[in-house]
Amino acid sequence: IAVDKENIIANSSAEGQPNNSAATEKFQQQQLLSKEYVMTRIAPAAMIGSSAGVFSGVTGLGGGIITVSAFSLLTPLSYKQALGTSLCAMVLPATSAAIAHHFNGNIVWRIAPFLA
């Protein structure tokens, strides 16, 4: 999204949009929430994520394998961008799961640091 926002900022100034910051910010927000943006960026990502979740649940494969491959093949993301996006998406679930397992006493801390 940051790259898209930078592109929108560059394009808005090139298209002769208002130069004051309030108008520019409003224009940028409209661009990020436009139907075209949602249909070309957000909808495919949501469909890939949902499909990967169902497929990995049915087959027992890791969702990252499916997600990274799908993002690389079906979107304009490079392999490194797809991998980074997939890893970033796992931070919140992994952190919350680790905290929950810690409080339930399910982590052997003598071993866990060596697995990281």
First to last CA, the chain: 29
Count, in order, helices (H) and strands (E) of the chain.
Answer: 8, 0
What is the model's pLDDT at position 10? 57
What is the model's pLDDT at position 19? 54
- Residues 106, 109, 110: CA angle, nearest 5 degrees: 130
The ranges of the chain with pLDDT < 70 are 1-20, 28-33, 37
Other CB atoms within 10 A of residue 33 CB? 10
What is the model's pLDDT at position 111? 92
What is the model's pLDDT at position 3? 54
Tell me the residue length of the chain: 116
Please, are residues 31 and 37 in contact by the beta-carbon 8 Å criterion?
yes
